[in-house]
Structure 1
Amino acid sequence: MSKSPACLIIPFFDEKKKMAWMRPKRFPVYFKYFIDSYSRNVTTKLKIFTNVSCREFIDKYQHSSIEFHQISLKKMFGLIKDKLGVSGYDYDQYRAYKICDYKPTFGHVFSEYLEGFDYWGYIDPDVIVGDLDSFLNTDNLVGYDVISGGRNNFTGYMSLFRNVKAMRFLYQESPDHARVINSSSNFRFDENGGKRGIVAMEQVIRNNNISIKYLNCAHNDFGKIRDLVDNSDREWVYDWVDGKLTDRLTGEEIAMLHLMKSKANPNFTFQKFRDGSNFSISQTGLCYK
């Protein structure tokens, strides 16, 4: 077994509004809850590339599985350009959200940071993480080239690929990859493409008969939860206790809860952060026990 079977990457960049130039760059309110829940995992590494000052997190989590790398948004796009051979970059036209389209290329773009890992992937910070190490242990991954956080679909908020050349360059199997890579527009290439009229990664995986494992995760959308069994919406409460995330109504353990749109709902509140404390998450928000 590899010492570190998987490594996830987060590129997070705070783009200040024109009238907010005096305030420092910062992480969103939910970031502390994400990073603290993730820190309980040991073998599933996390590398964060950001333009936000993260000294407090570096000091706090220096002995954990989490690494922080300071980089400007311009330098990040420069790295992508150099690795992928992107032409005609006009940095003034590129927004941080465009990086979502480049997620399937991370195995190539960040190859130097991913040496020695069995799998590479990406994750968004708007999630509460459970015992990801258990869900991603080597025995559970045997025979799979792709692991995704969707129930029956490939997701952009969290996915992993086997760290082999074919998977690092799988994005090139899309006939539209050059168009996506060389455009400042967002195509949802890391998911299903929406209505953009492209062959996105979900279809690439299907067309190439890639073996994919779907993790037991939950997805929250404006106060409703998508049921893992019958795909219907239902009420929900999840408990995060000592690094494990459990559905209170069913008793089922899940790998993570994706907050999706609820995090922006004014009726969804985050109780003041408490380091390492157990908490619950429901339609009304996150509160400590």
Structure 2
Amino acid sequence: MKRACFIIPYFGKLPNYFQLFLNSCKPNKSFDWLIFTDDMSNFDYPENVKRVSMSWNEFQKKAQEKFDIKLSLEFTRKLCDFKPTYGYIFENYIQKYPYWGYCDIDTIMGNLDKLLPIDFIEKYDKLFSLGHMVLFKNSPEINKVFMKSVNGNWYYKKALTENEITVFDETGNGKHNVDTIFVKNGYKVFHADWSYNPRVTPTKFKNVIYDYSNDTFHNEDLKDTLCVWNGKSIIRYIFQENFVKNEEFLYVHLQQRKMKLKKGVERAKAFAIIPNEFIPIDITKINDLNYIKNIKRQGINFHYIRILWNWKVKNRFFRK
């Protein structure tokens, strides 16, 4: 039985590593993905990922038909505020699923089948707090919870009608979000952060973990690690003095990282994920330190310089 369907509207050119995202979805037979997009490029879609042709104008019209308020959908980046509405907007597509969700495509999926068994997720009305992956129980009531008030305030009206991004889809950026609405209205929410979520800066991977108990992000300080998709799971290997420790994550999130594709990686059975590249690997050699060190060697990586340019220079002097 299928457990959930992820809904992803995406307009414009899909990322250069989108095929790797699709490859990581494929082994998760209990989960489906619906990609609403105007990019008809020739990707190899697995059976559990369905592409639905839709233009940006068609999405705008479809969304507006569901609301009496005038929606602000002037640019596609505004979609992050609309993520909690997808179960309501696309309700006709997900009727057969007990859960639905949203996730980003700058991700590589891990072993969702293993880590999200149905007897676990069915305990909750909403799972996870960060916008790169959230799951909801699929019912007419739950799919409209985002429209409930908190102390007489309707956060969704501000989020869906303002031109500026309000980060309505996740916690960690204020309290006026869908997570607060679920909590304050008495719904059951699972808040733990199971993602491998490297900070946008620095260049090297430095995982940041969201702690709901105090609404803060904690930066890990691990120096010698390697992140791998082994054909099914996301595993981070931590190399210590005389042994290798490994830990599993639900997915890896590569926010704002410009990634390269090593030759052959789109057909690889396993690959390493380093800060600027996907590299095919022989998973049987993963505990060979010399093999690992060779993988971890990088050329010049301009990620940090590019981020500074975008944040401090480009936004200041070239803003429209």
Query: Is 1:112 equivalent to 2:92 in the alignment?
Result: yes
Aligned match of 2:248:
253
> 2:51 is matched with which residue?
68
**SS across alignment from 2:6:** strand
Q: Radius of gyration: which is bigger?
A: 2
Q: State the TM-score, normalizing by the size of structure 2.
A: 0.74
Which residue number corresponds to residue 179 of structure 1? 158
- What is the aligned partner in structure 2 of residue 9 from structure 1? 7
Q: Is 1:164 paired with 2:139?
A: yes
**Given the alignment, which residue of 230, 246, 270 partners 1:241?**
230
Percent sequence identity over matched residues? 24
Mapped pair 1:192 → 2:171: yes
User: RMSD between aligned alpha carbons?
Assistant: 2.3
Q: Work out the CA distance in 1 between the residues paired with 2:14 and 2:266.
A: 17
Q: CA deviation at 1:233?
A: 2.4
Contact persistence 1:218–1:228 (CA under 8 A): no
Q: CA–CA distance in 2 between the matches of 1:220 and 1:45?
A: 26
Query: 1:280 aligns to what SS in structure 2?
Result: strand
CA-CA distance at 1:12 after TM superposition: 0.7
**Corresponding residue to 2:70 among 79, 87, 92:** 87
**Maintained 8 Å contact 1:36/1:276:** no
Aligned length: 258
Structure 2 CA distance, aligned partners of 1:281 and 1:206? 35
CA distance in 1, matches of 2:40, 2:102: 21
Q: 1:284 to 1:71 in 2, by over 3 A?
A: closer
Change over 3 Å in CA distance of 1:88–1:269 after alignment to 2: closer
Counterpart residue type for residue 182 of structure 2: I
Deviations 1:187-241 (A, max 9, x none): 111123836xx72113223322432223522101133112589933234321111
Whole-angstrom distance in 1 between the partners of 2:70 and 2:118: 39
**Equivalent pair of 2:71/2:160 in contact (CA under 8 Å):** no
Residue identity matched to 2:196: A
In structure 2, relative to structure 1, the CA distance for the partners of 1:205 and 1:41 (3 Å cut) is: same
Provide the C-alpha distance between the structure 2 equivalents of 1:228 and 1:241, rounded to a whole number of angstroms.
25
TM-score (norm 1): 0.81
Unaligned runs of 5+ in 1: 15-25, 149-153
Q: Return the alpha-carbon distance in structure 1 between the equivalents of residues 126 and 62 of structure 2.
A: 25
The residue type paired with residue 30 of structure 1 is Y
Higher RCO, 1 vs 2 (CA within 8 Å, ≥6 residues apart): 1
Cα distance in 1, alignment partners of residues 58 and 209 from structure 2:
41
Q: The residue matched to 2:266 in structure 1 has which SS? A: coil
Q: 1:34 to 1:216 in 2, by over 3 A?
A: same
Task: Select 2:127's aligned residue among 137, 147, 161.
Answer: 147
Whole-Å Cα distance in 1 between the matches of residues 6 and 90 of structure 2? 11
Cα shift at 1:286: 2.1
Is the contact made by 1:237 and 1:283 (CA closer than 8 Å) also made in structure 2? no
Residue in structure 2 matching 1:210, options 183, 187, 192: 187
Asked if 2 retains the 8 angstrom alpha-carbon contact of 1:98 and 1:186, the reply is: yes
Name structure 2 gaps, 5 residues minimum: 212-216, 239-244, 282-320
What displacement does 1:156 show?
A: 1.0
